[in-house]
Structure 1
Amino acid sequence: MKEEASISFGRVTRGRGQVFVSVSVTAPDGALASARNGDREGRALPCCLRALGPDEAVAYLPVLECVQTLTVEVRDERGELLASASKRLSPLGARLSSSLNTLRKDERAEAIRNVDQKLGPASLCLQLAAVVEDGDHDVLVGELGYDCFDEATAISPVSVEAFDLSGANVTRVACALSDECDVEGEGGLMRRRQRFSLALTQGVETVAVFARLKEGDRRSDFIVVEPYELGQLRERTRLAQSSVAEVEPAEGPDALTREAELEAQRRSLGEFAQRPTFSIIVPLYKTPRDFLDQMVDSVLAQTYPDLELLLVNASPEDDGLCARVEEIVCSDERVRSVELEDNQGITLNTNAGIRAATGDFLCFLDHDDTIEPDALWWYAREVSLHPETDLLYCDEDHLLDGRLIGPFHKSDWDPILLCAQNYVCHMLCVRRSVVEGLEGLPGREFDGSQDHNMTLLVGERARRVAHVPRVLYHWRMHENSTAGKGVGQKSYALEAERLAVQSHLDRCGVKARADVGGRFEGRCDLRFELPVDLSLLVVVQRDKQSSDADALVGQLRRQLELAAADVDAEVVVLDAGADLAREVARGHAAASHVLVLGPRVTAPPEGEWLPDMIGPLASGMAGCVGARSVFESGLLACAGVLVDGHRRPKRVYPEYPASKMGYYEYNRLPHAASAVGSDCFAVAADDLASHYDATLGDYAVVGLCLSLAEEGRLSMQQNYVSVRVTAGLRTAGASAEESGELACRRELLRRFGFRFVGSDPYYTPDVGEDNLYFGA
Structure 2
Amino acid sequence: MKEEASISFGRVTRGRGQVFVSVSVTAPDGALASARNGDREGRALPCCLRALGPDEAVAYLPVLECVQTLTVEVRDERGELLASASKRLSPLGARLSSSLNTLRKDERAEAIRNVDQKLGPASLCLQLAAVVEDGDHDVLVGELGYDCFDEATAISPVSVEAFDLSGANVTRVACALSDECDVEGEGGLMRRRQRFSLALTQGVETVAVFARLKEGDRRSDFIVVEPYELGQLRERTRLAQSSVAEVEPAEGPDALTREAELEAQRRSLGEFAQRPTFSIIVPLYKTPRDFLDQMVDSVLAQTYPDLELLLVNASPEDDGLCARVEEIVCSDERVRSVELEDNQGITLNTNAGIRAATGDFLCFLDHDDTIEPDALWCYAREVSLHPETDLLYCDEDHLLDGRLIGPFHKSDWDPILLCAQNYVCHMLCVRRSVVEGLEGLPGREFDGSQDHNMTLLVGERARRVAHVPRVLYHWRMHENSTAGKGVGQKSYALEAERLAVQSHLDRCGIKARADVGGRFEGRCDLRFELPADLSLLVVVQRDKQSSDADALVGQVRRQLELAAVNVDAEVVVLDAGADLVREVARGHAAASHVLVLGPRVTAPPEGEWLPDMIGPLASGMAGCVGARSVFESGLLACAGVLVDGHRRPKRVYPEYPASKMGYYEYNRLPHAASAVGSDCFAVAADDLASHYDATLGDYAVVGLCLSLAEEGRLSMQQNYVSVRVTAGLRTAGASAEESGELACRRELLRRFGFRFVGSDPYYTPDVGEDNLYFGA
TM-score by length of 1: 0.98
Residues 593-647 of structure 1: CA distance to partner in whole angstroms, max 9, x if unpaired?
A: 1111111111111111111111000100000000111111111111110010000
Q: Take 2:753 and 2:96, find their aligned partners in 1: how far apart are those partners?
A: 66
Give the conservation status (yes or no) of the 8 Å contact 1:247–1:403. Answer: no
1:318-365 Cα offsets, whole Å, 9 max, x none, are 001111111111111111111100000000000001111111111111
Q: What secondary structure is seen at the aligned counterpart in 2 of 1:412?
A: coil
Q: Note the residue ranges of structure 1 that are not aligned, 5 or more in a row.
A: none
Q: In the aligned structure 1, how far is the partner of 2:491 from the partner of 2:240?
A: 28
Q: Secondary structure at the match of 1:398?
A: strand
Q: Deviations over 1:2-47 (max 9, x none)?
A: 8721111122222111111111111111111111111111111111
CA deviation digits over 1:571-609, x for unaligned, max 9? 111111011011111111111111111111111111111
Contact kept in structure 1, 2:282 and 2:365, CA below 8 Å: yes
Supply the distance in 1 between the matched residues of 2:564 and 2:521 (Cα, whole angstroms): 27
Q: Following the alignment from structure 2 to structure 1, what is the Cα–Cα distance between the partners of residues 247 and 193?
A: 41
Deviation at 1:427, TM superposition (A): 0.7
- For the Cα contact (< 8 Å) 1:481–1:489, is it kept in 2? yes
Q: CA deviation at 1:108?
A: 1.7
Equivalent residues of 2:243, 2:663 under 8 A apart: no
* Aligned-pair CA distance for 1:465: 0.5
Query: Aligned pair 1:313/2:313, yes or no?
Result: yes
Alpha-carbon distance, 1:716 to partner: 0.4
- Whether contact under 8 Å (1:247, 1:404) holds in the other structure is no
Contact 1:2-1:83 at 8 Å conserved across structures = no
| Kept after mapping to 2: 8 A contact 1:250/1:258 | no
Distance 2:454 2:487 in 1: 18
Equivalent in the alignment of 2:745: 745
Question: Which moves more between the two structures, 230-239 or 173-182?
Answer: 230-239
- Cα deviation per residue 1:89-147 (whole Å; 9 max; x = unaligned)? 12222222222222222222222111111111110011111111111001111111111
> Distance in 1 between the 2:567 and 2:659 partners?
31
Structure 2 CA distance for partners of 1:340 and 1:241, relative to 1, 3 Å:
farther
The question of whether the paired residues in 2 share the 8 Å contact of 1:595 and 1:680 is answered with: yes
Q: 1:240 to 1:736 in 2, by over 3 A?
A: closer
Relative to 1, partners in 2 of residues 1:641 and 1:283: Cα closer, same or farther, differing over 3 Å?
same
Whole-angstrom CA distance in 2 between matches of 1:744 and 1:445: 53
8 A Cα contact 1:448 1:490, kept in partner: yes
Call closer, same or farther: CA 1:362–1:655 in 2, change over 3 Å.
Answer: same
Is 1:336 the equivalent of 2:336?
yes
Are residues 248 and 238 of structure 1, via their aligned partners in 2, closer, same or farther at CA, if it must alter by over 3 Å? closer
The reply on whether 1:383 has 2:383 as its aligned counterpart is yes
Distance 1:410-1:297 versus aligned 2 partners, 3 A rule: same
Percent sequence identity over aligned pairs: 99
Assess if the C-alpha contact under 8 Å between 1:25 and 1:55 holds in 2: yes
Contact 1:314 1:349 in 2 (8 A): yes
Once the 2 structures are TM-superposed, how far is the Cα of residue 253 of structure 1 from its aligned partner?
7.0
For residue 65 of structure 1, report the CA deviation from its aligned partner. 1.3
Shift of 1:254: 2.2
| Deviation of 1:566 (Å) | 2.6
Q: Deviations over 1:747-766 (max 9, x none)?
A: 00000000000001011111
Q: Secondary structure at the match of 1:473?
A: strand
Contact preservation (8 Å) 1:244, 1:405: no
| Native 8 Å contact 2:245 2:663 kept in 1 | no
Task: Work out whether residues 245 and 408 of structure 2, in 8 Å CA contact, stay in contact via their aligned partners in 1.
Answer: no
CA offsets, 1:537-562, max 9 Å, x none? 11111111111111111111111111
Write the distance in 2 (CA, Å) between the matches of 1:404 and 1:7.
69
- Tell me if the contact between 1:241 and 1:406 (Cα under 8 Å) persists in the aligned partners: no
**1:160–1:212 Cα contact (<8 Å) kept:** yes
Q: Counterpart of 1:98?
A: 98
Distance 1:470 1:559, change over 3 A: same
> Matches of 2:102 and 2:278 in 1, distance apart?
78
SS of residue matched to 1:238 = helix
**Deviation by residue 1:158-194 (Cα, 9 ceiling, x = unmatched):** 1000001111100000011111111110111111111
Change (3 A) 1:680 1:250: closer
336 and 522 in structure 1: CA distance in 2 versus 1, 3 angstrom threshold: same
- Given that residues 237 and 772 in structure 1 are in contact (C-alpha distance below 8 angstroms), is that contact kept between their aligned partners in structure 2? no
Q: Which residues in structure 2 correspond to 1:522-561 (within 5 Å)?
A: 522-561=522-561
- Provide the rounded CA distance (Å) in 1 between the counterparts of 2:107 and 2:273: 81
SS class of match (2:532): coil
Residue 48, structure 1, aligned to residue 48, structure 2: yes
Q: Is this contact kept in 1: 2:276–2:380, CA < 8 A? A: yes
**Equivalent runs, 1:578-727 vs 2, <5 Å:** 578-727=578-727
Structure 2 residue matching 1:742: 3-state secondary structure: helix
Aligned to 1:480: 480
SS across alignment from 2:723: strand
Query: Does the 8 A contact of 2:241 with 2:656 survive in 1?
Result: no
- The C-alpha deviation readout for 1:699-724, integer Å capped at 9, x for no partner, is 00000000000000000000101111
Residue 72 of structure 1 deviates from its aligned partner by 1.1
| Off by >4 Å, runs of 4+ in structure 1 | 239-253
Deviations, residues 391-433 of structure 1 (Å, cap 9, x unaligned): 1111111111111111111100000000000000111011111
More moved, 237-246 vs 509-518: 237-246
Moved more, 385-394 or 103-112: 103-112
Greater alpha carbon shift after TM alignment, 7-16 vs 663-672: 7-16
CA distance change for structure 1 residues 251 and 607 in 2, over 3 Å: closer, same or farther? closer
1:565: Cα distance to partner? 5.7
Gaps of 5+ in 2: none
1 CA distance for matches of 2:754 and 2:471?
27
Distance 1:326 1:14 in 2: 81
Q: Which is further off, 82-91 or 358-367?
A: 82-91
Change in CA separation of 1:463 and 1:512 when aligned onto 2, cut-off 3 Å: same
Other structure's SS at 2:245 match = coil
Distance 1:251 1:693, change over 3 A: closer
Report if the CA contact (8 A) 1:37-1:46 is conserved. Answer: yes
Post-superposition offset of 1:774: 1.6
- Structure 1 Cα separation of the partners of residues 506 and 387 of structure 2: 30
1:216 Cα deviation after fit: 2.4
Measure the CA separation in 1 of the matches of 2:464 and 2:593: 31
Q: Deviations over 1:646-699 (max 9, x none)?
A: 000111101111111110010100000000111110000000000000100110
Contact 2:211 2:222 in 1 (8 A): yes
- Distance apart, 1:249 and its partner CA: 8.6
Q: Partners in 2 of 1:412 and 1:485 — Cα distance? A: 26
Q: Distance in 2 between matches of 1:640 and 1:246?
A: 23
Larger mean CA deviation between 657-666 and 94-103 belongs to 94-103
Cα 1:4–1:250 change in 2 (3 A) is: closer
1:655 aligns to what SS in structure 2? coil
Q: Is the 8 A contact 1:181 1:729 kept in 2?
A: yes
Contact 1:693 1:704 in 2 (8 A): yes
1:34-83 CA-to-partner distances (Å, cap 9, x unmatched) read: 11111111111111111111111111111111111111111111111111
Shift of 1:250: 9.0
CA distance in 2, matches of 1:124, 1:250: 42
Distance verdict in 2 for CA 1:705–1:245, change over 3 Å: closer
Whether the 8 Å contact between 1:239 and 1:663 is mirrored in structure 2 is: no
Report what 2:495 is aligned to. 495
* Correspondence 1:294-305 to 2 at 5 A: 294-305=294-305
Q: Work out whether residues 64 and 91 of structure 2, in 8 Å CA contact, stay in contact via their aligned partners in 1.
A: yes
Q: Is the 8 A contact 1:246 1:404 kept in 2?
A: no
Q: How far apart, CA to CA, are the structure 2 residues paired with 1:352 and 1:457? A: 18
Distance 1:328 1:224 in 2: 68
Aligned pair in 2 of structure 1 residues 247, 302: CA closer, same or farther (>3 Å)?
farther
Provide the C-alpha distance between the structure 1 equivalents of 2:648 and 2:81, rounded to a whole number of angstroms.
53
